[in-house]
């Protein structure tokens, strides 16, 4: 087996673990521990960690030690601005190039997402929201755009707003549906507009979620 293949495997495993929240920012990621856990030498592990560090997914805390990036309002805003542009372009292209297979995939994903939200199946809902945007990017027909959007999404731990914010469930359901309808009706301008609005709204909610953690505790003494 080629060393580059081992490095790619380590990279994908680490990226998935970080995206799934299995390696939170508070956990030290040690090169030597990963080599032992993955059954690899330290060279492919080091290469994988270097790639993740270059992409801004992890930060180096000491030689051979890393941690997932902890995202504050500024970092989250920067990521979401890029994500908004990519999702908007994906929706525009999807409206031009979507197929019947794409439309069926949208419908299946939305129905499954509705069920997961009603059952409060958080992890499943997270995966289905990812699948929803993945399907839109795939329908765009642009593999580079698809890959870039996947990388940007992996920069943060995705939580489906319809689960974490039940009060938004019906509205988000309507907005997801409206976006799919715009793509189905081959209206690229409307599709891009709705996609951008959806991502911008998600950012506003997530920034609001961070606010309490950024307010210093009041002194009582």
pLDDT tens digit sequence for 184-195: 999 999 999 999
What's residue 162's pLDDT? Answer: 55
Report, as ranges of residue numbers, the positions in the chain whose pLDDT lies below 70: 1-4, 157-166, 211-221
Q: Which of 68, 84, 116 is the last residue of a domain?
A: 68
- Residues 133 and 100 reside in one and the same domain: yes
Distances (CA, A) of 64 to 26, 29, 71, 110, 138: 16, 8, 22, 43, 37
What's residue 159's pLDDT? Answer: 59
Q: Which of 52, 68, 84 is the last residue of a domain?
A: 68
What's residue 211's pLDDT? Answer: 67
- Cβ atoms of 70 and 25 closer than 8 Å: yes
Domain CATH for 17:
1.10.10.10
Measure the N-to-C terminal CA separation of the chain; round to a whole number of Å: 63
What's residue 219's pLDDT? Answer: 28
Does residue 185 lie in a domain region? Answer: yes
What's residue 215's pLDDT? Answer: 38
Domain containing 151 equals 73-214
- Residues 122 and 196 reside in one and the same domain: yes
- Cβ atoms of 110 and 176 closer than 8 Å: yes
């Amino acid at each position: 087996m080629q060393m580059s293949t081992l490095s790619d495997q380590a990279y994908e495993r680490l990226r998935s673990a970080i995206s799934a929240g299995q390696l939170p920012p508070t956990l030290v990621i040690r090169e030597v521990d990963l080599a032992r856990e993955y059954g690899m030498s330290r060279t492919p592990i080091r290469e994988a960690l270097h790639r993740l560090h270059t992409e801004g997914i992890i930060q180096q805390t000491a030689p051979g030690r890393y941690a997932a990036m902890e995202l504050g309002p500024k970092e989250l805003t920067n990521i979401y601005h890029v994500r908004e542009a990519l999702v908007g372009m994906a929706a525009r292209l999807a409206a031009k190039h979507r197929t019947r297979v794409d439309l069926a995939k949208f419908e299946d994903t939305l129905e499954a997402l509705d069920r997961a939200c009603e059952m409060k199946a958080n992890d499943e809902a997270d995966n289905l929201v990812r699948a929803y945007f993945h399907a839109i990017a795939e329908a765009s027909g642009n593999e580079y755009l698809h890959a870039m959007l996947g990388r940007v999404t992996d920069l943060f731990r995705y939580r489906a707003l319809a689960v974490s914010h039940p009060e938004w469930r019906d509205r988000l359901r309507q907005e997801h549906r409206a976006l799919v309808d715009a793509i189905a009706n081959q209206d690229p301008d409307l599709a891009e507009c709705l996609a951008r609005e959806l991502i911008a709204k998600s950012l506003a909610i997530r920034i609001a979620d961070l606010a309490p953690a950024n307010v210093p505790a009041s002194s009582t003494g």
